[in-house]
């Protein structure tokens, strides 16, 4: 499945924040504001941690762009109607290629809906979740009345291993219910994902070959979008924690319909085995798409906690003890899915910036300045 998030005032994009790095970089000169051909900023002056911002996609909704282990390619999902039938599929980007709008190489089957792709350690294959075994066409989008915003938890999602030519090499999951949001440890030994196989939306971990499956969260609520630290010893993820009788009932009723309401999510960290859980944020609203800074002491995440009307979403950085909050991006609509390259010198993220005042979301990369 994919998780939906409001990416612009009038458009919703299906994206799940599935969300391995090392190295440091030194401080350099102040950033320059770069204007694109449409006179919209591609780099805002407040974004002091970015340099040499580059746009890699043009058109459609392109999201969840994650680095390979050598730092020269990104795997991402797109619903670009020039490339697909309008339902998210998986594509690969070479970050050194000329940025243009030409069709990218399709890695998924082209059937159903896909989400949450991630490179395997060999750089020659990927993980991704797909509904293609259950359907050829795109699954319907739930419509809720009364202003309630929900994410569909498609039970048809399973996790697959495929080569870069689109050949399915292995099916990792075949349990009834939702299995998606898989990411790989930068050490190349573990996979973490979200599943409903235990009756709730929990995190599960397994060895890279699929053995040693273990549930590592058990608190009531949605646990998802997990990522490993650079040394593979910690994980960070988003979670809801319904507490009152009314909150618990609403959560369970929605889950019974394969839905979740993502308007109250916080960021958590723990050891990779699920022990020593710590809540990092307590801001209310939607805090999600977290990723560790290469030093393992800080976390970057997306949030709308400053927003009075639900947007914009921007990227923030915070110490794992909840101190030192800093805003990283400053788009007026949407910035999210930030991930460090394996050497810690670059970041990739997705943004509504520089889109010709359309609804498009595109992939960007930049040098990271600490």
Is the pLDDT reported for residue 235 higher than 80? yes
pLDDT score at 4:
41
pLDDT at 104: 82
Q: Is residue 283 over pLDDT 50?
A: yes
Q: What is the pLDDT of residue 219?
A: 97
Give, in degrees to the nearest 5, the angle at Cα 142 between 141 and 144: 140
Q: Is the pLDDT of residue 25 over 50?
A: no
Note the pLDDT of residue 338.
98
Q: Is the separation of the CB atoms in 291 and 338 below 8 Å?
A: yes
- Residue 321: the pLDDT is 97
For 138-176, the pLDDT digits (tens) are 998 877 766 678 899 999 999 999 999 999 999 999 999
pLDDT, tens digit (0-9, with 9 covering 90-100), for 264-273: 999 999 999 9
d(CA 301, CA 177): 27
pLDDT at 51 over 80: yes
Note the pLDDT of residue 17. Answer: 52
Closest CA to 90 of 102, 103, 107: 107
- Concatenating the DSSP letter of every residue in 129-164 gives EE-TTT-SSPPPPP--STT---EE--TT-EEEEEET
Look at residue 24 and tell me whether its pLDDT is greater than 50. no
Domain CATH number, residue 360 = 2.120.10.30
Q: What is the pLDDT of residue 6?
A: 40
pLDDT given at position 27 = 29
Q: Look at residue 147 in the predicted model and tell me its pLDDT.
A: 67
C-alpha dist (Å) from residue 337 to 118, 155, 160, 228, 248: 13, 24, 21, 14, 28
Residue 260 pLDDT level (bands cut at 50, 70, 90): very high
Structural domains in the chain (count): 1
Please give the C-alpha separations between residue 266 and each of 3, 100, 238, 244, 286, in angstroms, as whole numbers: 16, 36, 6, 17, 7
Buried b (16+ CB within 10 A) or exposed e, 100-129: eeeebebbbbbbbbbbbbbbbeeeebbbbb
Q: Is the pLDDT of residue 132 over 60?
A: yes
- Span 229-258, average pLDDT: 97
22 confidence band (pLDDT: 50, 70, 90):
very low
pLDDT tens for 309-326 read 888 999 999 999 999 999
The average pLDDT across 45-51 equals 97
CA distance 67 to 338: 10
pLDDT of amino acid 353: 96
> What integer is the mean pLDDT of 193-219?
98
The share of the chain scoring above pLDDT 90, in percent, equals 77
**239-252: average pLDDT:** 97
Tell me which of 133 and 58 has the higher pLDDT: 133
Quote the domain boundaries for residue 340.
4-368
Which residues touch 209 (CB under 8 Å, ≥6 apart)? none
| Least-confidence region, from 7-16, 138-147, 283-292, 344-353 | 7-16
Where does the pLDDT of residue 356 fall: very low under 50, low under 70, confident under 90, or very high at 90 and above?
confident
Mean pLDDT of the chain: 89
């Amino acid at each position: 499945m994919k998780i939906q998030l409001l990416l612009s005032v009038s458009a919703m994009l299906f994206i799940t924040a599935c969300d391995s790095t090392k190295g440091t970089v030194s401080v350099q000169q102040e950033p320059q504001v770069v204007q694109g051909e449409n006179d919209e900023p591609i780099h805002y002056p407040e974004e002091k941690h970015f340099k040499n911002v580059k746009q890699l996609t043009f058109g459609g909704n392109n999201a969840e762009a994650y680095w390979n282990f050598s730092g020269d390619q990104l795997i991402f999902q797109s619903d670009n109607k020039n490339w697909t039938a309008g339902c998210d599929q998986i594509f690969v980007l070479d970050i050194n290629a000329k940025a243009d709008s030409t069709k990218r190489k399709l890695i998924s089957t082209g059937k159903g809906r896909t989400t949450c792709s991630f490179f395997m350690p060999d750089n020659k294959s990927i993980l991704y979740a797909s509904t293609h075994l259950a359907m050829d066409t795109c699954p319907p989008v739930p419509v809720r009345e009364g202003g309630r915003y929900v994410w569909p938890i498609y039970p048809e999602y399973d996790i697959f291993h495929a080569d870069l030519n689109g050949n399915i090499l292995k099916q990792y999951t075949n349990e009834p219910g939702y299995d998606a949001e898989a990411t790989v440890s930068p050490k190349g030994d573990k996979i973490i994902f979200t599943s409903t196989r235990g009756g709730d939306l929990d995190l599960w971990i397994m060895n890279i070959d699929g053995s040693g499956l273990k549930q590592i969260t058990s608190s009531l609520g949605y646990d998802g979008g997990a990522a490993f630290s650079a040394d593979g010893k910690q994980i960070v993820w988003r979670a809801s924690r319904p507490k009152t009788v009314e909150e618990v009932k609403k959560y369970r009723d929605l889950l019974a319909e394969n839905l979740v309401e993502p308007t109250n999510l916080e960021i958590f960290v723990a050891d990779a085995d699920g022990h020593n859980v710590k809540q990092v944020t307590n801001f209310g609203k939607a805090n999600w798409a977290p990723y560790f800074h290469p030093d393992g002491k800080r976390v970057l995440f997306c949030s709308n906690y400053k927003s009075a009307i639900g947007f914009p979403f921007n990227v923030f950085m915070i110490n794992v003890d909840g101190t030192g909050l800093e805003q990283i991006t400053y788009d007026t609509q949407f910035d999210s899915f930030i991930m460090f390259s394996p050497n810690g010198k670059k970041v990739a993220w997705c943004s509504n910036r520089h889109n010709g005042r359309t609804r498009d979301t595109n992939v960007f990369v930049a040098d990271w300045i600490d």
